[in-house]
Structure 1
């Protein structure tokens, strides 16, 4: 199920995590050749992706939110 990126934070290993508008977190790593997300590397790139949708597997599975959506 596609959900929009609302914001970002870094996890305890210093990797970027998207906060989706559904209340779930999803890692957004740039790890070529498996995952090609060069926009994650810069602040401008991350900001440009706010509102863009990612496939949220946690929503597909009916998982509880990772954070409370206000």
Structure 2
């Protein structure tokens, strides 16, 4: 299910994590050639992707929320 990126934070290993508007977190790594997300490496790039939709597998699975949506 597609959900929009609402914000970002870093995890304990210093990797970027998107906060989706559904209440789930999803890692957004730039790890070529498997995952090509160079935009995640800069503040400007991350800001440009606010509102962009990612496939939320946690929603598909009915997983509990990672954070409270206000």
**TM tier, smaller:** over 0.9
Unmatched tracts of structure 2, length 5 or more:
none
Number of aligned residue pairs: 70
In the other structure, the counterpart of 2:54 is 54
Task: Return the alpha-carbon distance in structure 2 between the equivalents of residues 51 and 38 of structure 1.
Answer: 17
TM-score (norm 1): 1.00
Deviation at 1:39, TM superposition (A): 0.2
Task: Return the alpha-carbon distance in structure 1 between the equivalents of residues 42 and 22 of structure 2.
Answer: 24
Task: Return the alpha-carbon distance in structure 2 between the equivalents of residues 18 and 5 of structure 1.
Answer: 6
Which deviations, in whole Å up to 9, do the C-alpha atoms of 1:10-66 show, x marking residues without a partner?
Answer: 000000000000000000000000000000000000000000000000000000100
Task: Return the alpha-carbon distance in structure 2 between the equivalents of residues 54 and 17 of structure 1.
Answer: 12
Following TM superposition, the consecutive aligned residue runs of length 4 or more in structure 1 with deviations greater than 4 angstroms are none
RMSD over aligned CA atoms reads 0.2
TM-score (norm 2): 1.00
